[in-house]
Amino acid sequence: MGDELVVPTGYRKTERRSPRTDTTSTYTALLAQVRTAGLLGRRTGWYWGLIAVLAALLGITGGAFAVLGGSWYQLIVAGVLGALFTQFAFLSHEAAHRQVFASHHWNDRAARYAGTFLTGISYAWWMNKHTRHHANPNTVGKDPDISFDAISFRPEDAASRTGFLRVLVRVQGYAFFPMLLVEGVNLHWQSIRTYTSRGPVKRRWAEGSVFVGRFVLYLGVVFWFLPVGLAFAFLGVQLAVFGFLMGIAFAPNHKGMPVIEPGRRVDFFSRQVLTSRDIGGGAWVEYFMGGLNHQVEHHLFPSMARPNLRAARDMVRKYCADQGVPYTETTLVHSYVIVVRYLNEVGLAARDPFACPMVERLR
């Protein structure tokens, strides 16, 4: 990379309105504005309302499951259940960021219950991974979300693929969304790997017991009430919907944004803003993405409650314009186009890592 990160084309880019100030004081000044506006306050009542709605929907879904019996209409229930698990995962994410309650203890309990018990995702694994991501988004060697995996996010990684993966990586942009259909299985698998790993895991046995209990109860109910074939189909649909919705909610946030190479020093404010992408849209986008459409604001103020993020967006956008820091925002559909294009460009660079258009823009 050169001396300055460059934002890919096709985004809203602010222009500097005043001389650039010291980066530390820049964030401190913005933080003071947000705090004065009361946007860092808890919205516990709003979250209790959300919890009540999700609990009611879960109860209705359970009732439909009991009434339908061995009918293949159960696959609709499975899809709804997958969508509800996604919403509970969002709630767990927010509680883990201390957005929901004033009490650290209650946030921790809520995150563990909604995450591990309801959705079957290890809270310990998620916290380890997500904390590192927030500290260094899109930073090579530090952000696990762009680490070497089934999908390559850097030409260097794509070029090292062999066999079938080398063929797959060339069309990984097109394969990305179909691959999300198995992301639900992957999330559960990562949780199992965490509990069975040799490294230190906070509250391994307590959390692991809840995780095992969750699957014993869930699988027991599904296979007890449904014929075996329908039970497997039910699980397949639920896992596919859950993984797909989780993936398409998180994918637009950073993929296709600048990647910070090893040894590159970027201040906190610039690092969080330049590597994040906001998604415009109404309330349905906010619900669909669990508030993650306000990604820039979420990264700058991780403990800010979801209902306050939209109000903070205007303040952050104006502040970025004043400081000359590019603020990226696009539509949901366009963000998916960008993700597909970016992943394909990275994959095709496996033939010639030095000719990747995306890399050339970021040099």
Residue 91 lies in a domain: yes
Q: Are 99 and 51 in contact (CB under 8 A)?
A: no
Task: Tell whether 331 is covered by a domain.
Answer: no
Instruction: Answer for the pair 315, 273: CB distance below 8 angstroms, yes or no.
Output: no
Structural domain contains residue 155:
no
Question: What would the two tokens of residue 171 be?
Answer: 């069309």
pTM of the model as a whole? 0.87
Distance (Å, whole) CA 260 – CA 266: 8
- 38, part of any domain: no
In a domain, 125, yes or no: yes
Per-residue pLDDT tens digits for 8-64: 333 344 444 444 445 556 799 999 999 999 999 999 999 999 999 999 999 999 999
Please give the Cα distance from 218 to 118 (Å, whole number): 10
Report the alpha-carbon distance of residue 286 to residue 293 in Å, rounded. 6
Pairing of strands 329-330, 278-279: parallel
Q: Which residues is 330 bridged to in the sheet?
A: 279
Domain that holds residue 48: 44-136+173-251
Whether 212 maps to a domain, the answer reads yes
Could you tell me the CA-to-CA distances from 2 to 6, 202, 257, 264, 267 in Å, in that order? 9, 40, 16, 9, 15
**3-state class (DSSP) for residue 278:** strand
What is the per-residue pLDDT for 19?
47
Which among 319, 3, 272, 11 is positioned nearest to 137, based on CA atoms? 272
Summarize pLDDT for 244-281 with one digit per residue, the tens: 999 999 999 999 999 998 888 888 999 999 999 999 98
Could you give the number of structural domains in the chain?
1
Q: Which residues of the chain have pLDDT under 50?
A: 1-21, 352-363
Evaluate whether 324 touches 308 at the Cβ level (below 8 Å).
no
Nearest to 116 by CA among 169, 187, 31: 187
Distances (CA, A) of 185 to 147, 281, 332: 19, 30, 25
Which residue, 113, 236, 225, is CA-closest to 184?
236
Q: Please check whether residue 292 lies inside any domain of the structure.
A: no
pLDDT score at 1: 40
How far apart, in whole angstroms, are the C-alpha atoms of residue 40 and residue 79?
A: 35
Residue 61 located in a structural domain: yes
C-alpha distances out from residue 89 to 216, 231, 242, 270, 333, Å: 20, 23, 10, 28, 23
